[in-house]
Amino acid sequence: MSHPVIGIFGGTFNPVHVGHVRAAIEVAEALGLAAVEFVPAARPPHKGGEPLLDFALRLRLCRLALGDLPGFSVNAMEADRPGPSYTRDTLETLGRQRPDEEFCFILGMGDLLSLPTWKDGLNLGRLAHLAVHAREGLGLPHFRAFVAERAAAMGAVPTSEPAVWGLPGGRRLTYVPVSRLDVSSSDIRERWRRGGRIHGLVSEAVRHELDNHAAALRAGWGRPAPA
């Protein structure tokens, strides 16, 4: 019997927004994932200069964003890990702790293109399935070109499906087109700084929680412009 495949959606979620949630839903439906876990990074190694909210607040915002969405949850495993939050370490830990499950790491096209700069990034497909969703205006041709160029390093082999490559251990690397939502955490932070409205960019539960933590936002993102 095959093991259930759990989607792992990592990121800083600074803050989590509707684009994150919608992309995760569409990937889960396209691949038939048994569940999806959002895994906020406590100390993201690639975000050294980014103004970052406290981990506990980002964790709570993710829980509020998902609400009671069936099959979706937040995993706080990064909370107690020392040092930077490397995806390789996260996937290794999950595989060791939960041997009766398979995992599918969900990443954006921008993340795929930057994998060579990640810690052991091109070997992530030896630890989990990979699902790439495109929201940055880059599509299937860019996906195929990237993987073809690095196929040997990734252990990837083409299949009869243009959007699917085989990976070691019977895993798959899949391109999943999702609805394009031009929402980014950096844009939300900038709107907040200048006193703009972020309605519709984040869930109402997340927006209310951000309003309730104005002091934390001023410390983490900078003071918004006076009204």
User: pLDDT by residue (tens digit) across 165-205?
Assistant: 999 999 999 999 998 888 999 999 999 888 899 999 999 99
Sheet of strand 164-167: strand arrangement: 72-74, 35-40, 5-11, 102-108, 129-134, 171-177, 164-167, 157-158
**pLDDT above 60: residue 20:** yes
Structural domains of the chain ordered from first start: 5-177 (3.40.50.620), 185-221 (no CATH)
Judge contact between 175 and 163, C-beta under 8 A: yes
pLDDT tens-digit map of 40-65: 999 887 655 668 899 999 999 999 99
Residue 195: predicted pLDDT: 87
pLDDT range class, residue 142, cuts 50, 70, 90: very high
Residue 116: predicted pLDDT: 96
Nearest to 74 by CA among 61, 93, 89: 61
Q: What is the pLDDT of the chain when averaged over all its residues?
A: 91
Strands 72-74 and 157-158 come out as unpaired
Average pLDDT over residues 134-160: 91
Cβ atoms within 10 Å, residue 200: 11
Judge contact between 205 and 67, C-beta under 8 A: yes
User: What counts of helices (H) and strands (E) characterise the chain?
Assistant: 9, 8
